[in-house]
Amino acid sequence: MRTLIAFCTRYGATESTSEEIARVLRDEGFDVRVANTKKEKLKDISEYDLVIVGAGMQMSRWCKESEKFLDKFQEELREKRTAIFISSGAKMILEHDDLKMEMEDNWQKFLVDIVEQYSLNPVAIAMFGGVWNYNKMGFFFRKTMGPFRMKLEEVGIKEVEPDVYDTRDWDEIRKWAKDLAQNVG
């Protein structure tokens, strides 16, 4: 099955998540192309049977290139098998603090509402953890997000390198990709 994973990322989490999803799908026999929509302006998606759209989140907003991709190809995506995922550094904090309402609000706002906005019918949607990279944040954002650093450490997220926290659950990502392959394959 010819598959496109079109993503945009701010700090690299969505890119490496996309690459891991691609690896799992390739192991399942899929022909996968991964495209960073910040660097590559896709002109045509007609050759793909499955299109996966990934977006990094920041300040409760999708990475804009992923939304532009959905807008540009919404008619074609309605006719294709699609899947959507987001990378959110806040996911782990919300889960740890058992903030079910906030998790449900995020799920609704950042996945369900986007699907409805573009009238899509995805075969799978997911919210994965993300990366907090204080080295790449601007001064204002770094100051605003400073308190989250303490929260990350409080919930057991350790630095993977200085000022970088990875909140992803790789087993969850691999399971989602494997389930996706079985559902569409």
Query: Which fold, 2-130+168-184?
Result: Rossmann fold (3.40.50)
CA separation for the pair 33, 26 (Å, rounded): 10
- In the prediction, which pLDDT does 83 show? 97
Q: Which residue has the higher pLDDT, 17 or 11?
A: 17
Q: Are 136 and 171 in contact (CB under 8 A)?
A: no
Length of the chain: 185
| Number of neighbouring beta carbons within 10 Å of residue 152 | 21
Q: How far apart are alpha carbons 185 and 122 in whole angstroms?
A: 15
Adjacent-strand bridge partners of 3? 32, 50
pLDDT at 34 over 70: yes
Does pLDDT of 50 surpass 80? yes
Give me the residue spans of the domains in the chain. 2-130+168-184
| pTM to 2 decimal places | 0.87
The encoded tokens of residue 167 equal: 């909140």
pLDDT at 74 over 90: yes
Angle, CA of 54, 10 and 159, to the nearest 5° = 105
pLDDT digits (tens, 9 = 90+) for 150-184: 777 777 788 889 988 888 999 999 999 999 999 99
First to last CA, the chain: 7
